[in-house]
Structure 1
């Protein structure tokens, strides 16, 4: 029986003790994260990002160039959350072995990471585009008026998705081969799958998974440096201009613009902080095979669980950050969802508009 299994499997793995069995399975902490924390963050992300899109659809004054970028960010975050969490739930529902891809096969090994990488890189590029747009609006307003426009914004957004797709395609060879492992469990072990399938790099690119772990961090750190420079310039310019405006209406306009800029800086900082642990682990894993690792395998897995929690949380809290730092966004959310209060206010606004048109 063992010989027939080895003929249809790439390799065989013998698990001899119950301790090794427990190490091969998800423990209580892993299951709590997969079945409780991840779904909670996905539902939170659907609510917050969906609410933001509804606000922009119902409040015309919120349809600005900056918010066009932020809607694109919300779409990328929603897609990332739904695909990432659904894949974790499905894999752990059909198999007790972590990273077992038997039920999704080679198409799943290629398509799911491609979608996750594409949406992740799009988020990075979108946050950077928002920073560039706000930098020119505040630090170089004359130049901003010349090239600012919704057509140009849409072209940049489409370009961000295309560039993200191209970069994501480069990582496909890292998961384009299936390796089937025959598992020989001890007699006392619970009923577990006899075969486990893993997604690995194609054989002609030996060690590509290590290179890929390092390469995927490069856009993140480049974007972090660029955004840090832009944030510094934006905050310095806003600080110099405090109190420089004398007219009340113009002062309010500047205050509103600066408030939105502060919100975007805070949102960007939250993004880079939440993603930092995952990127640091990716760099660590890329060099792990070269020397004696500092962390055991189980410690790396625990760190990855924590890193995923931060990554998923970042995709869910953007709208919360908007409301914390900007009264304009808070007012728009109130107008959209506090419908009882809105019903009382709308007739008054209509009456005032009628008076002004007479």
Structure 2
């Protein structure tokens, strides 16, 4: 029998995968929904993610009053998101166009598999650590303000950010062995023109050992679960503390307008960061479900979903992960006048005098009155 798309000689070392029946071949092909996702959805999300995160980073760089401790963390979150949408989501796109076979790896060695997926996990792990640090900072600023003031400073923030990146790299290094091997097959495709150009040799990035697979998937779930529980605990205490705070009055019994204004901005930032954190965990959680599915399927041979359901879940989780890396700056803009006015100022959409009389004055006044609200690092 003549080989389709190549000579039999190149398949000699590998196990033959008989996909000559159209139904068998179809299980290795992208669905119509997946094709639309990669051809239309992913490029749009990449463009949106690059624009929004770049705009946020530029805004913090350009507007001096935005250079705060909280924003130092958020800029690094934006940088991680920018890296993911530009390279991680771009990797999904590159793999899609490199082969018509689902999950077919374009890499010739395990180094390519480990390196490409490792980069994606570095961005995810670093985001997880940074989101948790933001929650800790807000928790301390609102629930433990005296302790935070005693230790707060630019040097501490810089060290924590560097530690976040290092921890992200460490966590990624522990997960990377999940893709440290190559399964290579010689595929026999149906004998019709549709499959004439399909690759004879197909490769899949896999774990080098079954125990490594379980360990790596567990590391996908456990840090995420612990971080989510910790963040929810801090969010709950922040909301309770904000609800209990009385109105601030001066010695003559009148309301202190500046103090009230300070509280409003502080509460606005706290609510915004809680929304941001909840969105992160909501969009990342489905992907962790796939890790639980993979562990169960690996141990028992049967997972939580059928093959078709798992394909749909994988598509949804990929979409949500990419969306998460695009929308944070949009949420900041829509829900916070503080960030919205800073954006206007950075891009020249409003005159300096207009902003000077608005939110910009509030920001500088607050920063001058108390260190715990904006935590200025300049």
- TM-score, L = length of structure 1: 0.91
| 2:124 alignment counterpart | 120
Structure 2: 5+ residue stretches without partners = 250-254, 362-378
- Give distance in 2, aligned partners of 1:265 and 1:347: 28
How big is the shift at 1:247? 0.8
How big is the shift at 1:215? 2.1
| 1:172 alignment counterpart | 176
| 1:195 alignment counterpart | 201
How big is the shift at 1:200? 1.5
| 1:86 alignment counterpart | 90
- Give distance in 2, aligned partners of 1:6 and 1:309: 35
- Give distance in 1, aligned partners of 2:108 and 2:330: 35
1:98-140: CA deviations, max 9, x gaps?
A: 1111346433201111111111011111011011111111111
| 2:316 alignment counterpart | 306
1:331 aligns with 2:335: no
- Give distance in 2, aligned partners of 1:347 and 1:216: 47
Contact 2:176 2:216 in 1 (8 A): no
How big is the shift at 1:324? 2.5
1:214-293 alignment to 2 at 5 Å?
A: 214-245=218-249, 246-289=255-298, 290-293=300-303
1:101 aligns with 2:110: no
1:271-326: CA deviations, max 9, x gaps?
A: 11111111112111111131533422222111100011111101100011112222
Q: Secondary structure at the match of 2:283?
A: helix
Q: RMSD over aligned Cα, in angstroms?
A: 2.1
Q: Secondary structure at the match of 2:17?
A: strand
1:73-109: CA deviations, max 9, x gaps?
A: 0011111122222111111112101111134643320
| 1:356 alignment counterpart | none
Contact 2:174 2:219 in 1 (8 A): no
How big is the shift at 1:158? 0.5
- Give distance in 2, aligned partners of 1:164 and 1:65: 20
How big is the shift at 1:47? 0.9
How many residue pairs get aligned? The number is 346
Q: Secondary structure at the match of 1:181?
A: strand
Contact 1:231 1:265 in 2 (8 A): yes
- Give distance in 1, aligned partners of 2:108 and 2:57: 32
- Give distance in 1, aligned partners of 2:114 and 2:207: 11
1:159-180: CA deviations, max 9, x gaps?
A: 0111111121112322112222
Change (3 A) 1:136 1:296: same
